[in-house]
Amino acid sequence: MANNDGAIREIRINPIVPTESVLVATERSLRPKKAETGIPHDDREWVADCPFCPGNESRTPEAIVCVPENGPWAIRIVNNLYPMLGDELRPSSLQFGLQQTIDGYGRHEVIIDHHHHGVALHEMSESHLERLFRSYRDRMAQLYATDERIKYVLVFKNFGPAAGASIPHTHSQIIAMPVIPHNINAELDHSLQYFQTHRQCIFCALIDEALSLEATFYDQHSGEQLRKIDVGQYVVERGRRFIAIKPFASRYAWEIHILPQNHHHDFVATPDDDLQDLATVMKRVMQRLDAVLDGVQYNFFLHSAPHSADDHHHAASYHWHIEICPRTSIPSGFELGSGLFANTVSPESAAQQLRDVVLAANETPP
Ligand SMILES: [Zn+2]
Ligand SMILES: [Zn+2]
Ligand SMILES: [Zn+2]
């Protein structure tokens, strides 16, 4: 509930996964900030001892995919030298007492996003970003197609030391695993439940809500009007096919989700023309974040419906999306102990600040 000076202290429930909630407590942001990981962005173009820089290809496993196929590469996909999962391991499923394991079968690959060592996502050209999204899509399709033991393929990116990136050269990761991760299962389950009750995709409903002008909240018992919210305020960016929304229950102060405006459950089925618009929207969102945060370190995750034969019933209820989670603080004991996220920046004012960024006209980036 907002009090007189506009500060908010309330628990917001994630509408997609209601078991996940966020304490939005904006007064806390007035407390002195802990040392932020203000390491200056490494924007060097080429670094002699970087295993991902051109000329050092022999220091990574052989490329699985090179884009373009011939000539100097723009994007390279290689096996991760230190995989979290592997396909050479012996099956090790075992069970004793209450303890169980599932074989750590899978693949873990690195997508070297760009030949330019330190280029940030918002500095890449739209055509390069489009090519990067096409690489994600095509490699995901190959991984699903080649092995039926693969239940889920997750693409994610860590950028900056605060986001856990261990190699500074810009890269994404693709991990093909024998289970559907818990958080994605929760999204799949809850969106299916919502669909069964409302005959509508909950993500589509949220987009419709964000595009309508305002919503009014009433007290459940008295019917008294509590407050009006201008829901259009959550739209940060809008392209021809994609929309970027600041979640009402943002776990991270500057979290933004990008979704196709029309219903699509499967990123792998996205046509090239749509990826072009995704590149435009992604670049503009990252430019806004970078401007507001003066250099952004982040994780992003691509959430799409799984492909296995028994998962087709999510086509109408699930809606693929990208979750961008900028890292501006270290999780507190409160968060780790309670499982509740704590956010000290009001999502409404964060969205406003992001929208207020004046984007420069298109220059000619790498
Ligand atoms: Zn490099
Ligand atoms: Zn939808
Ligand atoms: Zn998600």
Residue partners of 75: CB distance under 8 A and separation at least 6: 65, 66, 67, 111, 112, 113, 114, 131, 132, 135
217 or 278: which leads in pLDDT: 278
The answer to the question of residue 34 being in a domain is no
Q: How far apart are the first and last CA of the chain?
A: 46
Domains in the chain: how many in total? 1
The answer to the question of residue 316 being in a domain is yes
Ligand 2 centroid from CA 109, angstroms: 29
Task: Tell me the pLDDT tens digit for each residue of 284-299.
Answer: 999 999 999 988 999 9
Ligand 2 centroid from CA 243, angstroms: 12
CA distance 8 to 26: 5
Ligand 3 centroid from CA 183, angstroms: 7
DSSP one-letter code for 308: S
Ligand 3 centroid from CA 244, angstroms: 13
The closest ligand to the CA of 208 turns out to be 2
The closest ligand to the CA of 171 turns out to be 1
The answer to the question of residue 313 being in a domain is yes
Q: Are 139 and 172 in contact (CB under 8 A)?
A: no
134 or 92: which leads in pLDDT: 134
166 or 266: which leads in pLDDT: 266
The closest ligand to the CA of 14 turns out to be 3
Task: Tell me the pLDDT tens digit for each residue of 12-29.
Answer: 999 999 989 999 988 765
The answer to the question of residue 15 being in a domain is no
pTM summary value: 0.89
The answer to the question of residue 14 being in a domain is no
Res 24: pLDDT: 92
The answer to the question of residue 230 being in a domain is yes
Q: Are 236 and 184 in contact (CB under 8 A)?
A: no
Least confident of 211-225, 274-288, 313-327: 211-225
Task: Tell me the pLDDT tens digit for each residue of 147-157.
Answer: 888 999 999 99
Res 89: pLDDT: 55
pLDDT band for position 364 (50/70/90)?
A: low
The closest ligand to the CA of 112 turns out to be 1
Ligand 1 centroid from CA 254, angstroms: 27
What average pLDDT is seen over the chain?
A: 88
Res 41: pLDDT: 76
The closest ligand to the CA of 167 turns out to be 1
Task: Tell me the pLDDT tens digit for each residue of 99-128.
Answer: 767 677 889 999 999 999 999 999 999 999
The answer to the question of residue 10 being in a domain is no
DSSP readout, 63-106? EEEEESSSSS-SEEEEE-SS-SSBSSSPP---EETTEE----B-
Res 93: pLDDT: 58
Residue 200 sits in a domain whose CATH number is 3.30.428.10
Ligand 2 centroid from CA 252, angstroms: 23
For residue 86, the enclosing domain spans 20-27+41-90+99-356
Ligand 2 centroid from CA 126, angstroms: 25
- Is the pLDDT confidence value at 256 over 90? yes
Ligand 3 centroid from CA 300, angstroms: 10
Task: Tell me the pLDDT tens digit for each residue of 297-336.
Answer: 999 999 999 987 666 789 999 999 999 999 988 888 888 8
The answer to the question of residue 9 being in a domain is no
Res 246: pLDDT: 95
Ligand 1 centroid from CA 50, angstroms: 5
Residues whose CB is under 5 A from ligand 1 (ion)? Answer: 47, 50, 52-53, 117, 169
Ligand 3 centroid from CA 304, angstroms: 8
